[in-house]
Amino acid sequence: MISVKTEEEIGLLREPCGIVRDCLSFVGERIRAGMTTKEVDALVYDFIKASGAEPSCLGYYGYPASACVSVNEVVVHGIPGDRVLREGDIVSVDLCAYKNGFHGDGCRTFRIGEVGPEKEKLVRVTEECFFKAVEGLKAGTPLYDIGYRVQQHAEGNGFSVIRAYTGHGIGREMHEDPSVPNFGRKGTGVRLRAGTVICIEPMIAAGGWRVRVSDDGWTAVTADGKPAAHYENTVVIRDEGVEILTL
């Protein structure tokens, strides 16, 4: 069931979403070559705790960290560890904060120094996919128009859309209905209602869309080893447009 949040609930959601936004900026100012992905996770844990929130990912279905830190060919759910970030890497940092009984969720892909033209374009196009998706989005828009717009922009730039993972509703639970795919047919799906809160999160690959999950049960890598990027915000559907809570 797709829920509609009251203004009071949206008010409560603003705080965890603001913490996600600020935490992503905080990480962006500090992430650099030579750091391990575990050190990135520690920044996230400390920031969220210091903000009086809880890292929603920690312990979620046994997930062992506060952030997903996904380097280059890792698409999503990269478990932080001893991998050292190097100049030329792209690193997506995906995190959720829980406060006031609500979750906020967001992700950015950071560049470590100069990343070269292919990764540069991939990161840019992935962010653009999000903004294409929210352009014109408002109450009454068919759900799969979001995926249609993401897919048009990604494929129009020679990239592919990851199929195995999607965006989602969010609120008292980190993952609520509906599932929000990054591909789809224009004009199809339920019509979104004002007050629905969703995470729109394009996951875009430079090569093919197939992924493989590593032996750790989480880390999803592209089957062809080409890089992938991820960008996500928590968004409220409004009568006249959207309100982006994590920007």
The residues of the shown chain that bind ligand MF3, judged by CB under 6 A, are: 57, 60-61, 63, 68, 77, 94, 96, 105, 199, 201, 232
DSSP 191: B
Query: Could you tell me how far CA 142 lies from the centroid of its own chain?
Result: 21
CB of 84 to Co ion, least distance (A): 26
Q: Could you tell which of Co ion, ligand MF3, none binds residue 63, using a CB distance below 5 to 8 A set by kind?
A: ligand MF3
Q: Are 198 and 167 in contact (CB under 8 A)?
A: yes
DSSP for 50-73, written as a single string = HTT-EETTTTGGG--SSEEEEETT
Which is nearer to Co ion, 17 or 115 (by Cβ)?
Answer: 17
In the shown chain, the binding pattern of residues 77 to 106 toward Co ion, with x for contact by CB under 5 A and - for none, equals ----------------------------x-
Residue with the CB atom nearest ligand MF3 in the bound state: 57
CB of 1 to Co ion, least distance (A): 19
Which is nearer to Co ion, 141 or 166 (by Cβ)?
Answer: 166
CA distances (Å), 214 to each of 38, 77, 95, 164, 211, in order?
18, 10, 20, 14, 10
3-state class (DSSP) for residue 163: coil
Question: Cis peptide leading into 202, omega within 30 of 0?
Answer: no
Q: Could you tell which of Co ion, ligand MF3, none binds residue 77, using a CB distance below 5 to 8 A set by kind?
A: ligand MF3
Q: Which amino acid is at 225?
A: G
Which is nearer to Co ion, 103 or 119 (by Cβ)?
Answer: 103
Residue numbers of the site for Co ion (CB under 5 A)? 105, 199
